[in-house]
Every structure is written in structure tokens, then in C-alpha cells.
């Protein structure tokens, strides 16, 4: 029986609410230094970061202590309470579909969080994140390395390889108006948690770029040459 997207999200959030303490304790000390370093090289000092799906607050705390301004969100109410206490600032309880900011963030950190978005909803969510970035803003995201959508231990996962990520971006661009995400880094790593090094992760870093306003003329505005339009990037 096919499970609807909303039910998948509901079940996954229920898992995190029921296992909030154990999850936070089990992930708080994971060494994300390599991934954070690759993300940070594209940010200016004091940049504003959205930690989208912050979990325990591990990475938000690191970014805050490194001088960045951080807005942290998560979909699990219980995890939000634990992370708020850990960070000493409010973690907003928001789902990805509720992100509606426009051109606000210099960087968005989505570490092991977008992987819970059902595949059919992922392009729209990516488009929302791109909208929330300033021009030149940077997105980091990670997915378990694979090609399937599956349930494991009460959670739903969307696994991606390089080609899968490329296709998701292409579909996300169809939702966009005048901008896109250019992948600047795409690399595979092992799981940094103890005893799970054999598990692989796809890591991507993308930069928001804007298309030039190119039209043949006013009369042709509605039938703009899409390919030429996409190739005329600043």
C-alpha cells in the first residue's frame, strides 16, 4: 500500500518526538568538521545561517561560537525544546514547507535533514530554500548514499546519488523564477558516527545564482527562449 507524503512526514516526526533525548545524545558529538569547513569557506564573517533541521543543535552551537548569526529550526517539538535549552536561544518548530522567507540567509545548513522529505516533495522544498537565500548564498545538504525511497526504523528516507541530486535540482528550477542553485561541490563521505563508518553519505554545496533578465522583446516575454535564458547567468 502506498503511503501518502504527509503520512510519511507524520510518522518520521513521531519517531523523533518519541526518541528525542536518545537522538540528541547520540548525534551531539559527531565530528562534522570537514563538512562544516567546506560550507564555511563560502561564507563571510558574521553571516546569517539557517540551520534547517537542526536536531540536537550541535552545528548551530558551533556556528554561533564561530561568530555567525544563526536561526535554528526543526520539525520535532521535543527536539526543539532540547535544542533550545542546549543553545540558549529559541529553536523554532517549523517544517520545510513552512519556510517562506525571501532572500534572507547567507547560508542554509541542512545536514541529514532534507533526506526525510518525500522524493516527490523534495524539488519544491529545495526551491523554497533557494528562495530564502540571498544572491550568492550557499546551501549545504546531505543524504544517505543510494537511489531509493524507503522506511527504516520508523523513519522515511529519500536516498540520493549524484545523478539523483542533479535531477532534483532540475525539477526545483522549474519552480523558480529567475534563479537557480549551482552545485559547487559534490562529494561522498563515510558516516562520522562511531561504528557506522561503512555507511556512505552524499554531500552537496550549492550557490544561488540569478539569471540575467533576458527577453527577446516585450511581445515575446511570455515565450522567452528558456535555454538562452538559462545560459545567460551573471
Q: What is the pLDDT of residues 11-31, one digit of tens each?
A: 999 999 999 999 999 999 999
Mean pLDDT of 134-163: 95
Q: Are 83 and 61 in contact (CB under 8 A)?
A: no
pLDDT band at 1 (very low <50, low <70, confident <90, very high): very low
pLDDT computed for residue 3 by the predictor: 63
Cα–Cα–Cα angle for 143, 77, 107, nearest 5°? Answer: 45
pLDDT band at 194 (very low <50, low <70, confident <90, very high): low
Q: What is the maximal distance between C-alpha atoms in the chain?
A: 62
Tell me if the domain spanning 5-231 has CATH number 3.40.190.80: no
pLDDT computed for residue 45 by the predictor: 97
Give the separation between CA 34 and CA 38, rounded to whole angstroms: 6
Q: Are 185 and 199 in contact (CB under 8 A)?
A: no
Cell 550557490, residue located: 207
Higher pLDDT among residues 171 and 223, named by residue:
171
pLDDT computed for residue 229 by the predictor: 31
pLDDT band at 65 (very low <50, low <70, confident <90, very high): very high
In the predicted structure, residue 207 carries a pLDDT above the cut 90: yes
pLDDT computed for residue 196 by the predictor: 61
Q: Are 59 and 111 in contact (CB under 8 A)?
A: yes
Q: What is the pLDDT of residues 75-97, one digit of tens each?
A: 999 999 999 999 999 999 999 99
Q: Are 127 and 172 in contact (CB under 8 A)?
A: yes
This prediction's pTM: 0.87
pLDDT band at 202 (very low <50, low <70, confident <90, very high): very high
Higher pLDDT among residues 197 and 205, named by residue:
205
pLDDT band at 223 (very low <50, low <70, confident <90, very high): very low
- Please give the share of the chain, as a percent, with pLDDT higher than 70: 87
In the predicted structure, residue 221 carries a pLDDT above the cut 60: no
Nearest to 184 by CA among 164, 201, 202, 208: 208
Residues 6 or more apart whose CB falls under 8 angstroms from that of 175 comprise: 123, 124, 127
Cell of 225: 527562449
Amino acid at each position: 500500500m502506498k503511503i501518502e507524503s504527509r503520512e510519511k512526514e507524520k510518522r518520521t516526526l513521531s519517531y523523533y518526538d518519541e526518541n528525542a533525548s536518545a537522538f540528541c545524545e547520540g548525534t551531539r558529538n559527531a565530528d562534522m568538521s570537514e563538512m562544516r569547513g567546506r560550507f564555511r569557506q563560502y561564507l563571510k564573517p558574521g553571516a546569517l545561517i539557517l540551520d534547517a533541521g537542526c536536531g540536537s543543535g550541535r552545528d548551530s552551537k558551533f556556528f554561533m561560537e564561530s561568530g555567525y548569526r544563526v536561526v535554528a529550526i526543526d520539525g520535532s517539538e521535543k527536539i526543539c525544546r532540547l535544542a533550545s535549552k542546549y543553545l540558549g536561544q529559541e529553536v523554532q518548530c517549523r517544517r520545510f514547507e513552512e519556510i517562506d522567507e525571501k532572500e534572507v540567509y547567507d547560508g542554509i545548513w541542512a545536514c541529514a535533514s532534507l533526506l526525510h522529505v518525500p522524493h516527490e516533495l523534495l524539488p519544491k522544498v529545495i526551491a523554497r530554500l533557494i528562495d530564502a537565500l540571498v544572491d550568492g548564498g550557499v546551501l549545504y545538504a546531505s543524504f544517505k548514499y543510494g537511489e531509493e525511497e524507503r522506511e527504516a526504523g520508523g523513519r522515511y528516507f529519500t536516498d540520493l546519488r549524484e545523478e539523483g541530486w542533479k535531477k532534483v535540482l532540475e525539477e526545483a528550477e522549474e519552480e523558480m523564477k529567475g534563479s537557480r542553485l549551482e552545485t559547487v561541490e559534490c562529494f561522498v563521505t563515510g558516516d562520522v558516527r562511531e561504528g557506522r563508518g561503512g555507511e556512505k553519505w552524499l554531500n552537496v554545496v550549492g550557490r544561488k545564482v540569478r539569471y540575467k533578465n533576458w527577453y527577446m522583446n516585450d511581445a515575446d516575454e511570455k515565450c522567452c527562449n528558456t535555454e538562452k535564458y538559462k545560459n545567460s547567468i551573471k
